Amino acid sequence: MIRASNLTRTFKTKAGPVEAVRGLSLEVAEGELVAFLGPNGAGKSTSVRMLTSLLPPTSGQAMIGGHDVARNPVAVRQLIGYVGQGTGSGPYHRVRDELITQGRAYRMSYPDARKRADELLAILELEPQADRDCATLSGGQKRRLDVALGLMHTPRILFLDEPSTGLDPHSRANLWEHIIRLRRQTGMTIFLTTHYLDEADNMAERVMIMDHGKMIADDMPEKLKADLAGDQIRLRFRSEREAGSAAEQARNLPAARDIAREGNHLTLTVNKGESLLPGFICELHNSGVETQSANIHRPTLDDVFLSLTGRSLRETAEPPA
């Protein structure tokens, strides 16, 4: 449904060229929900703007639903909905009128636009606000209206550039409920950028991580966490000697890595920590080493980014409060 091969984009600036995207290749199948993650300035928005025909690439090719984005932007725009960071409704229009105007811009007849507007007002639970001026909507309602605007022409692919940035946790969760429901009802392909790691982790089936204009990871969140970060097990023993002996035994565990002892503590990284831990504690017990406490730290996508780049995505990418 979405395919990019070797896309690049260089901006000319007074300070010299900025290589915003450097050889991006990706594929998204029909119906997938993909989250695009990365720190500020990684090149996410530039990539999305190229995929949606809003920005010509310096080189490379993007195809949407079989259409070349550069050669056939009109066909591409019929297939996609785009909700950008700065998109939005006119402040003095009423909510339903705004949707109808959008539909008319897509050459829908007035009755069709009106019907579709009412449909979307129901799906996104904006019926009570239908006759209100857009300027009076709350942040969450406004974002839902942005999504409705992007959906007026019934696109098969929805691009969302940071849909939930700036919303409070309740509105974020609510927006997500709507997006997930929409997807269930329509089977739409959704490609979104987000700063929120937990959001990407919980909602997306696939996560793509960008850094310095390049894709550095592309997989299911669970797989990325297992392969690149792993579960961190922390154990405490009665003495340093016991911790040392446990460290020796940990070296025999399959796929145990980053084994580190500090005082009477031992830390190690493994895959599937919860199934490995009871047996390991039992093994230690049988060799006379008693474990006093044990806990497992499940990896996050931030741990994945950290293992790939040595930097924390959380620190570099949190949106301004």
Ligand X SMILES: Nc1ncnc2c1ncn2[C@@H]1O[C@H](COP(=O)(O)OP(=O)(O)OP(=O)(O)O)[C@@H](O)[C@H]1O
Task: Quickly count: other Cβ atoms within 10 Å of residue 6's Cβ.
Answer: 12
Beta strand 59-64 with 2-13 is: antiparallel
Nearer to ligand X, 45 or 102 (CB): 45
246 by Cβ neighbours in 10 Å (0-12 / 13-18 / 19+) ranks as buried
In whole angstroms, the minimum distance from the beta carbon of 164 to ligand X comes to: 13
What secondary structure does DSSP assign to 89-127, as a single string?
--TTSBHHHHHHHHHHHTT--HHHHHHHHHHHHHHTT-G
Write the CB contacts of 221 (distance below 8 Å, at least 6 apart in sequence): 200, 201, 204, 206, 207, 301
Q: For residues 104 and 126, what is the distance between their CA atoms, to the nearest angstrom?
A: 20
Residue 320 touches ligand X, criterion: CB under 6 A: no
In whole angstroms, the minimum distance from the beta carbon of 48 to ligand X comes to: 8
Q: Which of 1, 2, 4, 20 binds ligand X (CB under 6 A)?
A: 20
Nearer to ligand X, 204 or 270 (CB): 204
Nearer to ligand X, 54 or 130 (CB): 54
Tokens standing for 163? 């849909």
In whole angstroms, the minimum distance from the beta carbon of 278 to ligand X comes to: 42
Residue 13 touches ligand X, criterion: CB under 6 A: yes
Residue 18 touches ligand X, criterion: CB under 6 A: yes
- Per-residue interface string for the shown chain with ligand X, residues 40-69, x marking contact by CB under 6 A: xxxxxxx-----------------------
In whole angstroms, the minimum distance from the beta carbon of 207 to ligand X comes to: 15
**Rule CB under 6 A: which of 94-133 touch ligand X?**
none
Contact present, 162 and 85 (Cβ < 8 Å) = yes
Give the number of residues in contact with ligand X, rule: CB under 6 A: 12
Nearer to ligand X, 45 or 129 (CB): 45
Helix intervals (H) in the chain: 44-51, 73-79, 95-105, 110-123, 139-151, 169-186, 197-203, 221-224, 240-250, 273-286, 301-309, 313-317
Give the chain's end-to-end CA distance (angstroms, integer): 35
Residue 230 touches ligand X, criterion: CB under 6 A: no
In whole angstroms, the minimum distance from the beta carbon of 165 to ligand X comes to: 9
In whole angstroms, the minimum distance from the beta carbon of 227 to ligand X comes to: 24
Q: Which of 28, 33, 34, 38 binds ligand X (CB under 6 A)?
A: 38
Chain residues that interact with ligand X, rule: CB under 6 A: 11, 13, 18, 20, 38, 40-46
